[in-house]
């Protein structure tokens, strides 16, 4: 088999066989296929797409490309949720403790920030001492003991995805439906959870910009999961605006803790309750409505917050920061962004908000960049709110005062005002079961 022929076949709109897809992923994994041929095939897939059968084969090949962690030593049902990536998306920090507080096991392997989107692992590392790398025995032991552990993915885990993602990131081929589906589901299936809830983001801050595209991506991923014998649900949620008010690592941890104390922003809380409700429901705790009620209860009675504190301490983190979030290190500088005009915020470009936060130091431009955990944005106004000329729409935080100008310009250019109050968009567009 020759990589040249596989690229040519896909370039010309052909359907790749299972053997050709396995050959490709095998070569990605063992390094025998050079980056330029991998990138060329990604671009051909980007333009030509894949059939459901090809996407499924690609996913299974990614799943099988690395070591499998043997989770059979974990007692009980394991549930996971995965977001396709968004801005201000700190849902894992809230839903995982809610679900674990009911005795359901959450053995979570999370990612770091990608482009304009944040990652759970970076957010957790904003907590002093928190270890996002555990040995398999530590990971399994902690899940069995307290029901929840959250780590980053090890190098041996679905390594084909690591390689592919790095190349897609620099060749403008991230936002391809089959490549996203295989990347996310390849990793999820390698983790081998029993039940998976997908949070498929849609809108300006997500990789899928329209509801129809997101619905199609959700359908493909749910199908793949079911073929692999998993219980699956996908929620299509609004990412036309950042979720909640906080963007940036420690700022988001603080907002997640506030939410677990019952004081979180309404939009963020609603998405968390719905995701946690479906996770509990798939795990057999009742109907989605009953389980959403359970999720609310875990916030009201403090058991979810207790579970987060327990998890942070178990992974070496400073639990005092969660109990008193005032103790998080603050940025040396802050800057108020004021609206030049009056009007209702008609729309925002959430991706540009994410990039503004990145410019402040909250994300990486290259894999080697160090994150400024205290950097980011606290919004004062969101889509639909009225803002008077000169009124603050956001506060920027950074240890690099020079970054404020770029971030402010990005934010203002990404915020569109109108005289009329815009019609409210749904927070959750659809649920694919």
Note the residues at the interface with ligand URA (CB under 6 A): 84-85, 111, 174, 179-180, 183-184, 207
Where would I find the H helices in 171-263?
Answer: 177-191, 211-227, 249-260
Pairing outcome for strands 428-432 and 343-348: unpaired
Residue closest to 183 by CA, chosen among 206, 160, 157 = 160
Decide whether 158 or 247 has the Cβ nearer to ligand URA.
158
Q: Which of 10, 78, 82, 123 is labelled catalytic?
A: 82
Q: How far apart are alpha carbons 300 and 395 in whole angstroms?
A: 30
Q: Given the residues 57, 89, 161, 240, select the one marked as catalytic.
A: 161
**Minimum separation from the CB atom of position 16 to ligand URA (A):** 19
Element (H or E) spanning 16, and its range? none
Catalytic residue among 116, 168, 269, 410: 168
From the CB of 236, what's the least distance to ligand URA, in Å?
15
- Tell me whether residue 89 or residue 349 sits nearer to ligand URA (CB atom): 89
Annotation says 161 is catalytic: yes
- Nearest-approach distance from CB 377 to ligand URA, in angstroms: 22
Question: Which class for 243: exposed (0-12), middle (13-18), buried (19 or more C-beta within 10 A)?
Answer: buried
Taking the alpha carbons of 26, 31, 33, 35 in that order, is the dihedral positive or negative? Answer: positive
Name the residue number minimizing CB distance to ligand URA: 183
Q: In terms of CB distance, is 57 or 372 closer to ligand URA?
A: 57
Active site residue 183: yes
How near is the Cβ of 59 to ligand URA at its closest, in Å?
Answer: 11
Q: Which of 187, 230, 269, 410 is catalytic?
A: 187
Question: Which residues are 343's β-sheet partners?
Answer: 387
Q: Which is nearer to ligand URA, 6 or 221 (CB)?
A: 221
Sign of the four-CA dihedral 162, 163, 169, 175: negative
**Nearest-angstrom CA–CA distance, 186 and 59:** 5
Angle between helices 177-191 and 159-170 (to 10 degrees): 150
Instruction: Give the list of residues 6+ apart from residue 15 with CB closer than 8 angstroms, or none.
Output: 51, 53, 54
Residue with smaller CB distance to ligand URA, 127 or 180: 180
In whole angstroms, how far apart are CA 410 and each of 127, 186, 406? 28, 35, 6
Task: Report in angstroms how near the CB of residue 296 gets to ligand URA at its nearest.
Answer: 29
Catalytic residue among 92, 110, 183, 357: 183
- The alpha carbons of the chain give a radius of gyration, in whole angstroms, of 21
Distance of closest approach, residue 183 Cβ to ligand URA, in angstroms: 3
Q: Is 168 a catalytic residue?
A: yes
Nearer to ligand URA, 182 or 393 (CB): 182
Q: Which residues does the annotation mark as catalytic?
A: 82, 161, 168, 183, 187
């Amino acid at each position: 088999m020759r990589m040249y022929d596989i690229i040519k076949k896909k370039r010309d709109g052909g359907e790749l066989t299972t053997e050709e897809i396995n050959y490709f992923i095998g070569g990605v994994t063992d390094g025998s296929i050079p980056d330029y041929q991998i990138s060329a095939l990604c671009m051909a897939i980007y333009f030509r797409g894949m059939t459901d059968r090809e996407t499924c084969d690609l996913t299974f090949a990614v799943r099988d490309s690395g070591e499998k962690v043997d989770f059979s030593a974990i007692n009980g049902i394991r549930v996971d949720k995965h977001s396709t990536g968004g801005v201000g998306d700190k849902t894992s920090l809230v839903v995982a403790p809610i679900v674990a507080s009911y005795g359901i096991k959450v053995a979570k392997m999370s990612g770091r920030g990608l482009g304009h989107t944040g990652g759970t692992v970076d957010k957790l590392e904003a907590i002093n001492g928190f270890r996002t790398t555990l040995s398999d025995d530590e990971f399994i032991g902690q899940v069995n003991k307290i029901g929840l552990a959250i780590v980053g993915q090890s190098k041996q885990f679905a390594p084909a995805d690591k390689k592919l993602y790095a190349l897609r990131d620099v060749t403008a081929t991230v936002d391809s439906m089959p490549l996203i589906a295989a990347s996310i589901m390849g990793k999820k299936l390698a983790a081998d959870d029993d039940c998976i809830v997908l949070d498929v983001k849609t809108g300006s801050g997500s990789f899928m910009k329209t509801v129809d595209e997101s619905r199609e991506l959700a359908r493909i991923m749910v199908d793949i999961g079911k073929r692999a014998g998993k219980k699956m649900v996908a929620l299509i949620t609004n990412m036309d605006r950042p979720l909640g008010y906080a963007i940036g690592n420690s700022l988001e941890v603080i907002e997640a803790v506030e939410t677990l104390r019952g004081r979180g922003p309404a939009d963020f809380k609603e998405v968390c309750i719905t995701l946690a409700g479906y996770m509990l429901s798939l795990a057999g705790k009742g109907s989605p409505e009953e389980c959403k009620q359970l999720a609310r209860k875990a916030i009201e009675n403090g058991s979810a917050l207790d579970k987060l504190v327990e998890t942070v301490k178990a992974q070496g983190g400073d639990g005092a920061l969660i109990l008193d979030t005032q103790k998080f290190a603050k940025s040396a500088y802050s800057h108020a962004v004021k609206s030049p005009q009056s009007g209702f915020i008609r729309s925002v470009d959430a991706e540009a908000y994410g990039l503004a936060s990145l410019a402040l130091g909250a994300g990486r431009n290259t894999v080697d960049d160090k994150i400024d955990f205290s950097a980011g944005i606290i919004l004062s106004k969101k889509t639909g709110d009225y803002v008077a000329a000169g009124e603050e729409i956001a506060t920027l935080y950074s240890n690099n005062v020079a970054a404020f100008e770029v971030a402010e310009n990005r934010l203002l250019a990404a915020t569109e005002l109108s005289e009329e109050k815009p019609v409210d968009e749904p927070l959750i567009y659809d649920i694919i079961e």
